[in-house]
Amino acid sequence: MRIGLNRRGLALAKTAVFRVDAGPGIGMGHFMRCRTLALELVKRNWVVFFVGSGLTKELLCPGARRVNGVVNLIEFGPFKTAAEDSRALLGLVTDKLDLLVDCLVIDTYFYNREDYAFLQRFGRQRLPVLVIDDLASRDTPAQAVLNPNPLFSREPYERQKIPYIMCGEEYTLIRPEIAALRDRPYSDSGLIMITLGGGDVVAPMLRLLASVPEGLANRICVSVSGNCPLDAINEWISRDSTRRFLNTDSDRFPELLASSAFAITGGGTTLWETYCLGVPNLCLVWVDNQRQTSVVIKQQATSFLVDFAGQINQGLQSEMLSRGISFLKSGVEPDSEIRRRELQNQSASDVIRRDNTSFLIDNENGSSDDFISGILREFHNMSGQWQEMIRRQRALIDGGGASRCADIIEKMAWQPIDLLPSDWSRDFENWSA
């Protein structure tokens, strides 16, 4: 066991370093999932350091139920290039932390294959590198990879011969504040929660709020991060301040979400948190890196889906949702606004042609807004469908992903990684730590 450094001095501990991105343009999704894994390691007496730009000191402020006192923040970057970033990271691990690190966790879209190969070539310590990835769109030569998206295939990582692969719903990272509320009983008189993540989400949020009908029985909570421009959202709240309110307190968010009767979320971490809790929801996919979400919903019938990123809406259905969706489809969307589309992607077209699988709605005439409005008006009349949806959600995401990840990390041993000839052809300006 290595000697890890913490704020109290020297202590017998294993040490993990997390290189993670966060900030207004990126949001806090990378940070929050890393934080979930970090807190699980801290429970097991690890010392944890977070390294990255956008990780403001407010994340460590006293009194916040975050990482104060158990995770250390190291100011780092930002750098103009990934090469500068990865070299500075290895220098930090080698010099400032004196190689006393047992696992390096990297969660950033900034790095490419060259950066991971650099860490493998020039790391003087046999330091296991764990990459948190949700795209499988790049090679990641490393000792381990974690893709926390439910139902994601292991094949892209097996092809790369990564020794330790944590992939799919077994390893979905649910923060402990959410998992602790998993047994909260469901009530359809709770809040309607509307949240799209922690970045600057004003444009898609205003589009969504415009589709919320007046006179709903449930109170509506709009939850965004404090760094999001709030004037336009507050103007919408003020139109019915007794039934609508704004939340920017991330510490308060788990309790609000657990008390919700229905949630409208983006396709990222918060969606999986609603599944863990068992909250019926409508998911908006509005950025490309959330595409795996539509695959999950299609296969599991766990949410309604609106795809803004692809400029289409998909009301994905199974037998258990067919009656409710058919009602909404016939009662809300005029025939002139509904048509089947032939997509360029043949596999998507095949899915659409199957009975009781999906229907596509032309987004150009605002039919997505009608669909969202119809769901919110009618969800009280669909209790049978919601109960089945909740059952499927909770069966998919059980809240134990962080513990399973930590089990593997604690047993993980360094293994050599096969690099390509091209990885060795670069001299990296004769870099050495």
Beta bridge partners of 146: 132, 166
Q: To which H or E segment does residue 348 belong?
A: helix 346-353
Which architecture does CATH list for 3-174+400-423?
A: 3-Layer(aba) Sandwich (3.40)
Instruction: Please give the mean pLDDT across all residues of the chain.
Output: 79
Q: Do 176-396 and 3-174+400-423 fall under one CATH topology?
A: yes
Q: What DSSP line would sit under 149-215, residue for residue?
A: STT--SHHHHHTT-SEEEESGGG----HHHHTTTTPPP-TTSEEEEE--SS--HHHHHHHHTTSPTT
Residue 84 token pair:
């500068």
Q: What is the mean pLDDT of residues 195-209?
A: 82
Please give the pLDDT value at position 308: 62
User: Comparing 88-102, 114-128, 203-217, 366-380, which segment has the lowest mean pLDDT?
Assistant: 366-380
Q: What is the mean pLDDT of residues 262-269?
A: 91
- Single-letter amino acid, residue 255: E
Domain borders along the chain are 3-174+400-423, 176-396
The pLDDT-based confidence of 24 (bands split at 50, 70, 90) is low
The pLDDT-based confidence of 226 (bands split at 50, 70, 90) is confident
The pLDDT-based confidence of 61 (bands split at 50, 70, 90) is very low
Residue 288 token pair:
């490309």
Please give the pLDDT value at position 57: 56
- Single-letter amino acid, residue 382: M
pLDDT more than 90, % of the chain: 49
SS3 assignment, position 146: strand
Query: Residue 278 region, left (φ>0) first, then alpha (ψ -120 to 50), else beta?
Result: left
Out of 66-75, 290-299, 362-371, give the one with best mean pLDDT: 290-299
The 10s digit of each residue's pLDDT in 297-317 is: 878 888 888 876 554 344 443
pTM for this predicted structure: 0.82
SS3 assignment, position 4: strand
Please give the pLDDT value at position 53: 80
Helix spans in 45-133 (H): 82-91, 113-122
- Single-letter amino acid, residue 70: V
The pLDDT-based confidence of 289 (bands split at 50, 70, 90) is low
The 10s digit of each residue's pLDDT in 88-143 is: 999 999 888 877 899 999 999 999 999 999 999 998 788 999 999 988 989 999 99
The pLDDT-based confidence of 73 (bands split at 50, 70, 90) is confident
Which architecture does CATH list for 176-396?
A: 3-Layer(aba) Sandwich (3.40)
User: Comparing 41-45, 128-132, 156-160, 428-432, which segment has the lowest mean pLDDT?
Assistant: 428-432
Instruction: Answer whether 139's CB lies under 8 Å from 111's CB.
Output: no
d(CA 302, CA 318): 10
| Size (the chain), residues | 433
The 10s digit of each residue's pLDDT in 392-404 is: 999 999 999 999 9
